[in-house]
Chains A and B, each alone.
Chain A
Amino acid sequence: MWNVFLLQWKRLLKKPFLVFLFIGLTILFVYFMGGVQVNSTLTVPVYSESLTEGELDDWLGRLNEGETLIFEKTSAETAQEDIRMNEISFAMMIEEDNYQFLVGRDSQQIAAVDQHAEQIFREYNRLDAIQDEFPGTDIEVQEILSVQVENEGTGGGGLESYKLALLVGMTLYFSAYSVLFLQLNLIEEKRKGTWNRLIYSPVTKIQLYLGYLLHYFLVGSIQIIVSVFILTKLLQVDLGTNYYSLGIVIVSFIFATVSLGILLAALIPSPQSLQIVIPIVATSMAMLGGAFWTLEIVSNRFLLFIAELIPIKHGMDGMITAITQPEPLREILQPAGILVLMGILFMAIGINLMERVVKI
């Protein structure tokens, strides 16, 4: 088994480009698709046409209590000019007790800014009303503090969770892609007849399959780990500390993917056709499974049902849970369990079908 396993590494090292390419693509896609800047803070130009300089500064002070968003004073003319020149995608205009966005390009980030600003304004207006009724109280300070804590969790969270979903989704998509492509070499061995030579040898069939599967398994896992590691560093996403849970999900996902590859290979024994089918399968799975956009925007019952059948969906659920929850172990058991079951099912059917065909 180890000889077979090591041989696959030797062969991979002769042609390692595919895996590097897919890791590269993962990083490139996440980086550009999110429109996410390397520094994860976002600067929002703010101006006012009705407030005094001092009043605007007060608002800036309140708005800037959070950490991921930076509100910066500008003038109406500059903001409009910058938007026209496409240098910024939007700016914020503050009036008394109210605010508006001047939008050039639609941006994912507006939602996060809006959420943050709305909370500050609502809270301020409420306190303002209280203060009007009970002048001279000092509730103000405490309340503002508590508001601040709250909005940091949600306002920044919108952007964070979007980034995280993108990161995890793309990572899983490209790893699945790599693993499925790598599995073409199993088909190739069967077609060329080297597989038969292995059958004649004292290596048992179980050892033979294990040697291969373990190789795919490791390549896939390493790709996920490398991608996640690089991306979380690059995008400053917090990976949390639940590495065991994360590991369990990754391993289950790769198992399901490798098994899916075996099933595909068994159903479509021609390498040429497989080369066409793999991208189609991987990409449609990623779409339906929510790797390209979040499933929250999908309302079609049927599509949501389909998503449940797709490994990427459970892989994403599990990984996001493992990264964001403080005690995720119990929660990830469901997605991981589903993945393992899928894996066993695909593998059993796949190997059975495959064993029926003998190259003579």
Chain B
Amino acid sequence: MLEVKNLKKTFKKTVAVEDVDLYIEEGESVGLLGPNGAGKSTTISMISTLLPPTKGTIKYKGKDVLKNPDELRPILGVVPQDIAIYGELSAYANMKFFGKIYGLSGSQLEKKIQEILELVGLSDRQKDVVDTYSGGMKRRINIAVALMHNPEFLIMDEPTVGIDPQSRNYILNMVKRLNGEKGITILYTSHYMEEVEKLCDRVYIMDHGRIIASGTKEELKNILSNEETIVIEVAERKQAFTDLLVSQKGINQVAEEENNYQLIVSKGDQLLGEIFEQARQTNVKIKSIHIQTPTLEDVFLHLTGRKLRD
């Protein structure tokens, strides 16, 4: 349905996006995963016809989107990463306005507003001014207005940033329903691996403006088929221990976080003995140690040597 080839965007001298190829089939739910500054929003802005690319093509159903933005726009819904709502108006007034500019009116408009308010769980607060909403509610109304015109293709740019786990779960379930029940094609951007793992069939992993890996979740995890992840919980991290781990043969990546070490090791190597020995040498107290099946987070770590949320 959508095909992006060789996309590139430079801002003055900074290259924000380069060599991006991706495609999305009808009804799919596709994730675009990457840390902050990876170029996700820039890519999305080009796909949604806002930002002219420096290079590359974007085709929707075989037609060039850059030349005919009006082919894509009517069926496109965009949930921007910042809350793009008139804060001084109520949720209802916002939805009414955005419904109207898409040509809805009368009882049809009213019905649509109530249907979507129900979906995002804001029915009882619809007359309140949006500025008085909590972060989670603002995120929900931000999604709601993008649904007013029944889009077939929904692009969501980090729609759960900075909200409590409860609201986040609500939104994730909602997105799943939009894709599953209503058949809306979804391009979902995030730097939370769990979200993409939960919602998406296929994933593109982006870093420094480039797609560094892509495929179904299983395919991506197969990148790690010869490797496994060891998570060590310690009482206190020590540089000497880290250094020993890094220089240990068979340990391919080492990431540190609070009281954890996350190691990506070659499968089959018996490394636990060495790790315990090194901990003893450096006086590090190991509280727990376990071996994990890989996650997309591990894939990112494997590919870049960094964690998604640095």
Q: A: which residues have CB within 8 A of B?
A: 3-4, 7, 10-11, 14-15, 192-194, 196-203, 358, 360
Contact = CB atoms under 8 A, between A and B. Distances in A.
Contact of A194 (B44, B45, B85): B85
A202 B102 contact: yes
Contacts of A360: 41-42, 44-45, 50-51
A202 B74 contact: yes
Nearest to B82: A193
A65 B304 CA distance: 96
B72 to A, nearest CB: 9
Contacts of B73: 200-202
A200 B76 CA distance: 8
B15 interface: no
17 contacts: A4-B101, A7-B86, A15-B88, A192-B82, A192-B84, A192-B85, A193-B83, A196-B84, A197-B80, A197-B145, A198-B101, A201-B98, A202-B73, A202-B102, A202-B103, A358-B45, A360-B45
Contacts of A203: 101
Contacts of A201: 73, 98, 101-102, 149
A250 B100 CA distance: 33
B297 to A, nearest CB: 26
A194 B86 contact: yes
A138 to B, nearest CB: 76
A326 B72 CA distance: 59
A11 B89 contact: yes
Contacts of B100: 3
B284 interface: no
Contact of B101 (A10, A196, A202): A202
B261 interface: no
A198 B84 CA distance: 11
Given A3-B100, A14-B89, A201-B73, 7 more contacts: A4-B101, A7-B86, A196-B50, A197-B80, A200-B73, A201-B149, A202-B73
Interface residues of B, number: 30
Contacts of B103: 202
B133 interface: no
B241 interface: no
Interface in B1-56: 41-42, 44-45, 48-51
Interface string B90-125: 000100011011110000000000000000000000
A15 B131 CA distance: 14
A272 B74 CA distance: 35
Given A192-B83, A360-B42, A360-B51, A197 B88 contact: no
A200 B48 contact: yes
B84 A194 contact: yes
A14 B80 contact: no
Contact of A358 (B51, B86, B101, B102): B51
Contacts of A358: 45, 50-51
B78 interface: yes
Contacts of A199: 50
Contacts of B97: 3, 7
Given A3-B100, A15-B88, A360-B41, A10 B93 contact: yes
A200 B97 CA distance: 14
A11 B97 CA distance: 12
B86 A193 contact: no
The 7 A-B pairs of least Cβ separation, nearest first, read A193-B84, A360-B45, A201-B101, A193-B80, A14-B88, A194-B84, A3-B100
B89 A10 contact: yes
A293 to B, nearest CB: 39
Contact of A197 (B42, B45, B49, B84): B84
A21 B48 CA distance: 41
A198 B98 CA distance: 8
B50 to A, nearest CB: 5
B106 to A, nearest CB: 14
Contacts of B83: 192-193
A331 to B, nearest CB: 44
Given A360-B42, A360-B45, A197 B82 contact: no
Contact of A11 (B41, B45, B88, B145): B88
A14 B42 CA distance: 34
Nearest to A200: B73
B50 A3 contact: no
B276 to A, nearest CB: 49
Nearest to B97: A7
Nearest to B46: A360
B86 A11 contact: yes
Contacts of B86: 7, 11, 194
A358 B49 CA distance: 11
Nearest to A204: B70
B78 to A, nearest CB: 6
Given A192-B82, A192-B84, A360-B45, A197 B98 contact: yes
B59 to A, nearest CB: 18
